[in-house]
A and B are shown apart, each in its own frame.
Chain A
């Protein structure tokens, strides 16, 4: 299925959860915040939230800043 992740469209396996997506991309689920179609996905729901074709995801984390 097609997903847009951080502005880039890509083809991902069907039946993917948020946790699965993070794992597949090599991100640390403990520090990443996920926004799906404009709404925040609570970290506790990463494993149970199934993605759907056309989802727009933003994966963000804290970086250096002043």
Chain B
């Protein structure tokens, strides 16, 4: 079977740009009326021609979100268990060249951190590590998942790309979801952004979600780091990636994350900064294209922006976030992967959601075959 990389080759950069540039207002209005959007329609909704119709997009996105998700928003929180990293991603605070102190939690520390999170009332947790295969090996991640699984309904991972067998190892340890940000779908830019380290292998990362799906992962998340490449390019490819995964793995729940680049330790000039209007266009076009897909918005975004994005399509937000390793239960003096701008606790987030007419859901799924402590 054709993999996503081969499928994406049928959508070369020039073709995407041409359709977006030539999009007409008429095409935008037609796309807004369709029951089912094709990739071309999604591209039209992301195009400059759709920008003047942002309110129409928002209304449609709002209606679809209510229809498929109701007034419920899922909460989760990240748990960084190691920031030791061998990559040199130019935009990232964990870049191997940064001289900050690193931490690598042992199993007892991981459990202590996890207990604090569980005590906050959260049931969905996302484990994150830097890319250091020797130290933070797949076995280490699996051990961590196995250790904390009794405390949570769902354990997800956002770690470096693994092989299909390694994903099986994580699933056997209780992991049910994986998130993989491609960062950018532009291979040349990707190569420049990742000067060294295992992450340099674009294809291995691009096809990672599919390997996880083959391994039997229940839920996948994909996303581009907005701001690296031209908006239209990575915005479109992210939706196309999710769409393709859904068509080929209909039993897998595919969601989208919408990270927008922000400042970090070290300096990085954001090549194609995405403004708020464009960001809203992205979320609403994505909702129209993939009406049943969860959209995750992290605490990179402000409380103001997140609260306003929820009616437009965001269905999952983090709360009680720390992007530094440790720091909840254990001593931590290291800095985080990126600066968070929404510092709300679980309680504050729950209250804020209630204030805009939404219920915070801490558990929307649990594997019926596992036991819960």
Q: Do chains A and B touch in the complex (CB under 8 A)?
A: no
Which of B's residues lie within 8 Å of A, judged by CB?
none
